[in-house]
Structures are given as C-alpha cells and as structure tokens.
Amino acid sequence: MKKSLCPIVAAVLVTLLAGCATRLPPNTVELNLVAVNDFHGNLEPSKFTYTSADGARERSVIAGGIDTLGAALQAWRKEDPQLLLVGAGDLIGASQSISSMWADEPTVGAMNLLGLRASSVGNHEFDAGRLELLRQQKGGCVSPRADKACKFAPDYQGARFQYLAANVLDMVTGKPVLPAYRIEETRGVKVGLIGAVLRDTTGMVLASGIAGLNFADEADSINRVLPELRKQGVDVFVVLIHQGGRTPEPFDQPDCGKLSGPIVDVVKRLDPAIRVVISGHSHTGYLCRVDGRLVTQADMGGHVLSRIKLQVDTASNKVLAATARNVIMTPGQYPPDPALDAYLAQIRERSASALTRPVAKLALPVITRKLNPSGESALGDLVADSMLHAGRPFGAQIAFMNNHGMRLDLASGPGLVATAGQAQAVLPYANGLVAMNLTGSQLLELLEQQWGGQKAAERGLLQVSEGFTYAWDSRQPEGQRIVPGSVTLHGVPLEPDSYYRVMVNVFLAEGGDLFPLFLKGSQRADTAMLDIDALKLFLAKREQLGKPAGSADALGRIKRLP
C-alpha cells in the first residue's frame, strides 16, 4: 500500500513545490537573463575588492575566470534552460596577456562556449579598427594583427553571438555597420535586445581604425529602432549599452538611487517602454533605478554576473516587474563545467611558454601606475623612458605616454624578474610608435590641453620622459596652468620657435584621448616599433647595464603648485 501511494504523494509534492516556487499571477511568465560587461579577456580569475550591501567592511577575494562563469551558468541553466546570457561591451581589448597574445580569439571562443547570445560593442572592440571587429564577428584570418590572428587555431570561426551597435553608422550609407538589435524568444515571449556604445568612442580609439564611422547619440539611436521591433511583435525591450555611471552604494545594493554619470541622461531620454538597461564601461557594479527603470552593471573582468528577472504579462506582452542581483563569481561555488575547464587548460598550455619567458630583472617587486598629486606615476616615467630609448635612432628628444594606455602595474616574480606576460599586461594594445616634430610653442599648447574638456580629470596628465620637466598651478584657470618658464628639456627652457623631436604611440599621434595637437606634428615617421617591444628592450638594457629599471615613486618630472 505504501509503495503504491509514494509515487502519487511525490507527484503531488512536486506540483505543490513548483507552484510555491513560481507564485506568478495568471498570464504571467518569468524571464531570466544573465549579464556580463567589460570582461576584457579575463580568462583567468583575479582579485576583486568590494563592499557589500550587508554592511561588511571592504574585502578582497579571487573571483571570475571562464571556468567559474561556466560552472555558474551551467547551474543556473538547470533552473531555467531558456536563460539568456547577454553582454554590454568590452568583452575583448585591454585584455589579460593570455588572451591578447592570441588577438583575443580565445575570449571570443570562451563566450561561444558560455552560450552568449548578444552583446553591445564597447569602445575596446574598436581597438584594432572596424575591419578587425568584423573579423572577430565573422571569423577568418585576414587581420591588421597578422602576427596574432589565427595563431591560437588556424581556422578561426568568429563569434557565434551577435555584436550589436544601433548608433555606429556608416557615413556613406547612414546604416549601422552591425545589427542594431537581435530578437530572442524565451518562454514564448519575444525579447528585443538593442545594443549601443558611448558616442565618445571616437576619442578613445585609433582614428584611422574608425574612419568613415559616425558614433551617434545613444538614446536617439535606441529609440529609433523600436517601431521596427514592434512591427515584428516585440514589446519587451532590453538595452545593452556600453556607457555607465557611478554610485557610492555597494555593488549589490538593490534599487540603489544615487547613480550619476552619462548613463543617467541616456536612460532618462529612452522610450518609456524600455524598462531594463544593462550598462558597462565604468567598471562599477550597481543595481539602480532611474525614473523607475532597472539599470545594472556587473563590475568588470568577470568578477560579477548580473542575474535579472523579468515578469511579463503574456496577454499585453508588457514587463510587469524587473529585479536583479549581482553575484560574485567565486571559484568552486558551483559544480565544474568540464567543457570550460578543458578549454581554459588548453589556453594555459598553449600560452605558458611565451608568457613565462623572462624579460629582465626589475629594481623592485612592483612598479605602480598610481598617480601622485602632481599627476605623475613611477610606471608612467618608466614607459615614457622606454619609448624615448626606442626613438633615439629617429632623433627623439621627448616621449609622452597616456595613462589609459597602461592597464596594470608592472609586476615581477621570483628574483624580481618580470616575464613577457607581466610586461604585456601593462601594454596590451601593442601600439606602434611614431616620431614627429613639434615646436616649443606647440608643446606648451599641448601641456595646457591636459586640462581641457569634461574628460580631463578621468584622462589624467601625459607621462613624460627623462629630461623633460615642468610645473603647473592648480589655482589658475584652464589654458593658463603651466607655470611660465618652467618647461625645460635637460634644464634648458624650451624655445617657442625651435623644433623638438617627440615620440608617442600611434593612438596619441592620431589625436587620441582628446589631444588634437599631436595631429599637427610634422616630419612624422612610423618607427615600425611596438610599445611593448620597446618596453621589453629597455628593461633588458637596464639590467645589462647593472641598473634594473623602476622606482618606488614618481621621479618628480611634473611638479604641482601649490
């Protein structure tokens, strides 16, 4: 008798428990999305520092890695096989060495294995230009990075997910160079995923790589595609946008209300039908509400994934509620995903010999890129010096380096020896170096440009090479901050009409980081040298001379008054 009742009782319990788990109103379904942003090729786990909404003090943990993300998604898909994984840009570019050395192809492959459906492009997707982005999407080996493309696998197949860019338009045709949206159907509901990237991308990437492209207003471009989606029966819209903001609230604080930054203006101008905005770019985790809309971001590097739930009325096809959680990707939290474990092991094996190759001994364990109050860093000094050294055959007298071009501190291993992987982590873009002539008056104008525009504080000051010094006065208005007579080369004041040979990376040479004066440089010469190669050669040379490179503090080339 008991045996015959057990299956019946079990079935009833399963039904009751299922009903308790959902508790949805009639004609309502729950859709599950998971979002990642600013992954930056972080195939391996790294340190994540955070303060939690539970009131805990700041703590640091090791988080992320594609194996960890794969394990989490495998577990969550057991709860909902129709879960949608989406992205908000910068999946590639400025990447860990283990990815950048292979033109980020392993990261695209990892996203394929993770089941990513769509992602907005980010500014870093354009680091190597439009043609390389299209190659990453479609596959193939014809690349401006011929030394890296198709070296991990000879038949690179490209992304199985779709990059989206509603506001990146071809200037000739006026049409998006990538699809503006992708329609996904889950639980019988059509979801319109609309992608966009910050319109300021033009000042963040090589001008030559995006020639002929127009980066239009984000909100206007997103709103423009809604009628087309509605014609296809879509009334549930999710924006994937590579633009962000910041908040003092914890990364996992539900319904935070102190979000500020460019994303707020964009969200406020979106069509009222858009209830969910998944953002990126600012590397800040948040779960905020802006005018009643849910706006999320999952930090960066795969440290966190955003789990988003939408309740949709299937009769009206409208979003009734949207909630989210930011979940730290702690290794070992979920049962492993064998496919992702094996893929990461393959990448590590292929990369180990190149990345562990010793480059040179340093003067100390870590050379930091942290800026002092004057705007100078020890790493900035070192990188600028390496560029100057590489430019000597081209007559270089001064070198400038942009802060954003240095992505991590320069670390060393046993015996203070830095490896190729550690050096590449500092300069992952592998930018070419360009020599040019600028007059003394142009150099003064360039230095004053450092405080121009809304992005000046975020951009920071240019780092300068040995022998070039100046002082600036923070009390003076923009355009008048350089202390008269303070700009010198080897102790000699600059002559306004004399020419000086200057070395910069190609990004700055094309006016990047909003330094248009570099475009005026004359007698330009492509050195055929990459910044990363210049750094490695300089480190090796300093060790050979018995003077390992690096200092604990900036060397005082830039002075601030008061």
| Contact yes or no for 293/303 (Cβ under 8 A) | no
- Mean pLDDT value across residues 367-395: 97
Is the confidence at residue 469, as pLDDT, over 60? Answer: yes
| Domains of the chain and CATH, by start | 30-348 (3.60.21.10), 356-561 (3.90.780.10)
- 3-state SS string for 22-41: HCCCCCEEEEEEEEECCCCC
Is the confidence at residue 476, as pLDDT, over 60? Answer: yes
Scored b (16 or more CB within 10 A) or e, 21-58 reads: eeeeeeeebbbbbbbbbbbbbbbbbeebebbeeeeeee
Q: Show the beta-strand stretches assigned E in 355-429.
A: 358-361, 366-367, 398-401, 410-411, 417-419
Q: Show the beta-strand stretches assigned E in 244-357.
A: 276-279, 286-290, 293-297, 304-313, 318-328
pLDDT in tens, 37-62: 999 999 999 999 999 998 767 899 99
pLDDT at 22: 53
> Which among 440, 430, 432, 431 is positioned nearest to 501, based on CA atoms?
440
- Mean pLDDT value across residues 98-124: 97
Is the confidence at residue 185, as pLDDT, over 80? Answer: yes
- Mean pLDDT value across residues 10-38: 69
Q: Counting Cβ atoms within 10 Å, is residue 9 exposed (0-12), middle (13-18) or buried (19+)?
A: exposed
3-state secondary structure of 61: strand
Is the confidence at residue 14, as pLDDT, over 50? Answer: no
pLDDT at 175: 92
Token pair in block for residue 218: 């984000």
Which of 16-20, 146-150, 297-301, 429-433 bottoms out in mean pLDDT, i.e. has the lowest? 16-20
pLDDT at 193: 98
Is the confidence at residue 202, as pLDDT, over 50? Answer: yes
- Mean pLDDT value across residues 385-409: 97
Q: What is the chain's mean pLDDT, rounded?
A: 94
Strands 236-242 and 189-197: parallel
pLDDT at 459: 86
Please report which confidence band the pLDDT of residue 20 belongs to, taking 50, 70 and 90 as the band edges: very low
Question: CA-to-CA distance for 5 and 20, rounded, in angstroms?
Answer: 22
